[in-house]
Structures are given as C-alpha cells and as structure tokens.
Amino acid sequence: MFGASVAFVYVLTGITGNLARTKKLPALYRIVSQLVRENRLGRCRIIGVGSRPKQIAEFRMLVYNACKEHVREFSEHFFSQVLWPLFQYHALDLRDQAAYCRFREIAELARGASRSARLVIDVSVLPELYQCFCEGFRGTLESFGPVDDLTTVLFEKPIGEDRRSAAELLKLMHQVFGAAHAKTWDHFLGKEGFRSMLQHRFSTLEIKRRWNSHHVRRINLSITETNGLEGRVYFARTGICRDMVCNHGAAYLSGLVMPEPRTHHPGDIQAALLEGARSFVPVDPACCNLGYYVRNDESNLPGYPEELAGLGLDAQQLARALSLGTSFAGTLVSRAPAWRNSRYFRLPTGITASGTGFSIEVIKRAPAAKKQVEVCFDRGKENLGMDRLVYHLEPGPASVTAFCGERQLWSTQLGSPCPKEAYEQLLSDVLIDANTAWFPGDQMVLACWDMFEPVIQNQTPEVIEYPACVQALDAGAVYARPMAAAPCGLRTQAAC
C-alpha cells in the first residue's frame, strides 16, 4: 500500500473532440494505471459529455481507439477490466440552458452518497461557450445549491479575447462557482521541460548567481510547431497571439524572470509566477512581427490562405484570419529587480541596443517542432567560459547545454528520461494531489493579457509571408516583404 485510496469524479465535456481523443483520454489511462500500480484506485468515475447521442459500443470504440493510438504501454486487459468500467457517456447540448439541471444531476449521482470524492468538471468546449456554460450552471444554483469545497471547475486557455473580456468572464466565473473553485489552466505549465528548467535555474548556484542583466545579454524563447491549421475554425478566428502567445508564451516568459518562490506551497509558486508576469512592460508593436505561411512547392505543402479557403470563409473573414497570422516574434522589457536595465532590441538596420532583451518566437508550420530557451551571456563578464546556455524543453527529455561559440562545453539531462505528458501531469495534480500550484489565478491571466494587449488592440501594419516548413526566423532570406522593425530572434546571427 503506497497511500490512501483516491476517489474522484471527472466530468469531461467535449469528450468526442480532438483534444480529448489525443491528449485527455490517454492521460486518464495513464493516471488510472498509476493508481492501480500503487494500489490506490478508489471509487472513481469518468463522465463523458458530448453534444450528440452515441451508442455504448460506439463510445467504447472512441475511448478504446484514443487510448490504443496514443498510449505506448496500452493493455487490452487493463482497458477492458479496469478503465472502461469507470466510463459513462451522456449526450447534452450545453448551448441549451435546460441541459444544465441534468448535467448537475449526472455529476451528483456519480458521486453517490460519499461526499469525500473530488468532483472535477473539465469545461473542454470552445472558449466562446464559456459564458454560456457559466450562465447555464448559474441557473442550477437554486435547485442544487453552490458547488462544495471538493469541486473544481477547469477552464482552459484562452480566457476572453482581450483583457476586458477576460476580466468580465473571470468575474462571471467567480460569481457562479466561487474564486476557490473556478480554475484556469494552461497545459504548457504542466510540461516537465518547463518545470525542470525552473528547478535547474533555482537549484544550480552558479546559474542562479548569473541569472540577471549583469551577466545575461539576451534570452530567446522559441516555440515552434510543424502543424498548420488542420481544419481548426477556432484558430482561424483567433490567430496566433490569442491562441498561443498571450497564454503559453506569456507564461513561459514569466517563468524566465520570476523570483525563486519562498516555499513549494501553491500560493508561493503562483505569487512568484505572477510577479514575473507583472514585471514586463507591455510589448511595443513596433518591436513585433506577425506572419503567415504560404505554399511551399518544394515540400508540396499548402499555404495558410489555401487552408482557410477550405473552411468556406467569406472575403472579410479570410482577410481577418490572415491579419491575425500564424507566427509572432517580438521583444519585451522586464522591470524585475534583476533585469532593470533591460532594453528593447530593434533591428531595422541590424543594430541592437545595449542591455538585456527578452525575445519570443511562436511559429506554426516551422521545419521542426521545439520548445527552447537560449540564454546569451555577456562576453565581457566572467561566465564560467560560457557564452550561451540552451535549454531544450521539447521534444524528448529536457536538457541544458552550455556553449562557447559553436563548441559544446557540457550537457545535462533535466528531469525524467520518460517525462509525463503535460495533460497527464496537470490532471494528476488536480485529481490525485489536489495541487493547484500550476493552475494560474485570475490575476495571472490578466497580467498575461497586459503583456501583449498593445498587439491585440493594434496589430502590426504589415503581416509577413514565409514559406511553409522553412525556417521563418531567417528574416532576410525568407520573409517576402521587408520588416518595419525586426526584433531580436528574427536575426539572431546579426544580433550576436
């Protein structure tokens, strides 16, 4: 016996969607498998909610295929005898306010007489339906009462379309569920690479001493993906900034400048992360670029305009989608005590400013998928012979490598050789450990919007084209039109 048994009811709306099939259902398989290995599996139920009726056999096949395709250690026996009996499916149209009393009834019946089981409601629907969900749930409060202390309601990024709408939505969430029960989450904060980088940064004394503007000249954050639109109407409506930069990118930037938490208590971790986010000056649109990928005949890949055309958008919708872009690059300034002399990097002529700069690059249809942080040290300072540290956060196990010029000095693996997938980590946190340290609060959400609000409200005047799956960061060689102001990271060789 490894510990007390775990009992939970997990309600997953949108269970038939792509995110549930590729990420959340496989994560649940691994979580339940872990509990069985530790002899801790108590009374657990997994309630799937979808908009269309499904026969039991059809729903079973959906869950089965999702787990078999995405779980390397898949076992037929475990699925049939242990996991599948935990599942239920209910067809509810959550756009219909009348469906929510039935929704609450299903959740309460699944918990049964035992009130010790955690109830976690994962609102995995399109973000534009969050308000509808809150309003529908509010209509049940008179009949069912408010949620209890063991209930958590999860809302995933992005919250709102800008800072104002995010603040209004957060206020509504608090009114309906209570601030202690409504949690926002960003699966990037569940990635072991990010957490391992923070641990290395705070626990390695020589790095900790040099993590400031006295030693560091520039920090580049790169988040690149090989996938494109893939039929996602939602992305076409929101663009790269709202979908990735204002949440994933902002959270990682906050981690790069956050002070060391006083303790491992969730409140201290969240406070440190929030301090990092609030330290950034809102980005200057003149130091940003948006872009979208175009057809690459060599690799026979369609461009973003062709993919959008397949969605049946009209001319106005198409123009808006292109203006929102599929890539973003920009530089920011931090007012944190360790980075007070940080400066913007402006490269219209290849000349950089002095001081430390923070750059972020978020690219779709890049040549390779990676999440990487490059720390460039000042060559004029004593930095253990290094001029660069590169944290490879993904793909594969996280690692950190030190360079002097192009010569590798050393490399160290961070974390586990077989890291947990991000959704598995975060769902384990909330279902098993009741740990919400990496579920940022509403102030963190608003601080992340603040960082990029100038770009959201005032898009850069020109969106640059780049061929699909060609390194979009080589500004001079790839972008079809000249940039008004190329931020650091778009021309890293020139900047160095």
In the prediction, which pLDDT does 181 show? Answer: 92
Q: Are 438 and 190 in contact (CB under 8 A)?
A: yes
**Contact partners, residue 315, CB within 8 Å, separation at least 6:** none
Instruction: Say if residue 480's pLDDT is above 80.
Output: no
Instruction: Say if residue 355's pLDDT is above 50.
Output: no
Average pLDDT rounded to a whole number, residues 205-212:
90
In the prediction, which pLDDT does 383 show? Answer: 65
In the prediction, which pLDDT does 494 show? Answer: 28
Instruction: Say if residue 34's pLDDT is above 90.
Output: yes
Q: pTM (2 decimals)?
A: 0.87
- Percent of the chain with pLDDT strictly greater than 70: 89
Q: Which of 150, 174, 50 is nearest to 106 (CA)?
A: 50
The CA distance from 83 to 29, in Å, is: 7
From 113-122, 160-169, 212-221, the region with the lowest mean pLDDT: 113-122
DSSP 383: -
- In 210-367, at which residue ranges do the beta strands (DSSP E only) sit? 216-224, 280-281, 288-294, 327-334, 357-363
C-alpha distances out from residue 456 to 163, 443, 449, Å: 9, 19, 9
Q: Which of 87, 91, 4, 79 is nearest to 41 (CA)?
A: 4
The pLDDT tens digits for 320-354 are 999 999 999 888 888 888 887 655 544 333 333 33
The pLDDT tens digits for 284-299 are 887 888 889 999 888 7
- In 241-386, at which residue ranges do the beta strands (DSSP E only) sit? 280-281, 288-294, 327-334, 357-363, 370-377
pLDDT band at 486 (very low <50, low <70, confident <90, very high): very low
**Contact partners, residue 442, CB within 8 Å, separation at least 6:** 170, 173, 174, 179, 184
In the prediction, which pLDDT does 2 show? Answer: 55
The CA distance from 481 to 473, in Å, is: 13
Dihedral over alpha carbons 61, 67, 68, 73 (to 10 degrees): -150
Q: Which of 318, 142, 315 is nearest to 237 (CA)?
A: 318
| Domains of the chain and CATH, by start | 6-156 (3.40.50.720), 189-420+439-495 (3.30.360.10)
Measured in whole angstroms, the distance separating CA 76 from the mean position of its chain's CA atoms is 32
pLDDT band at 3 (very low <50, low <70, confident <90, very high): low
The CA distance from 309 to 477, in Å, is: 27
pLDDT band at 1 (very low <50, low <70, confident <90, very high): very low
Type of residue numbered 70: H
In the prediction, which pLDDT does 24 show? Answer: 97
C-alpha distances out from residue 125 to 103, 168, 435, Å: 15, 19, 23
Complete DSSP assignment for 25-43: HHHHHHHHHHHHHTT-EEE
In the prediction, which pLDDT does 460 show? Answer: 59
Instruction: Say if residue 63's pLDDT is above 80.
Output: yes
Average pLDDT rounded to a whole number, residues 21-46:
95
Measured in whole angstroms, the distance separating CA 194 from the mean position of its chain's CA atoms is 11
The pLDDT tens digits for 393-430 are 988 889 999 998 889 999 999 988 788 899 999 999 99
Please state, rounded to an integer, the average pLDDT across all residues of the chain.
86
Q: What are phi and psi of 356, to 5 degrees?
A: -95, 135
Q: Which of 67, 85, 79, 87 is nearest to 10 (CA)?
A: 87
With 0-12 CB in 10 A as exposed, 13-18 as middle and 19+ as buried, what is 282?
middle
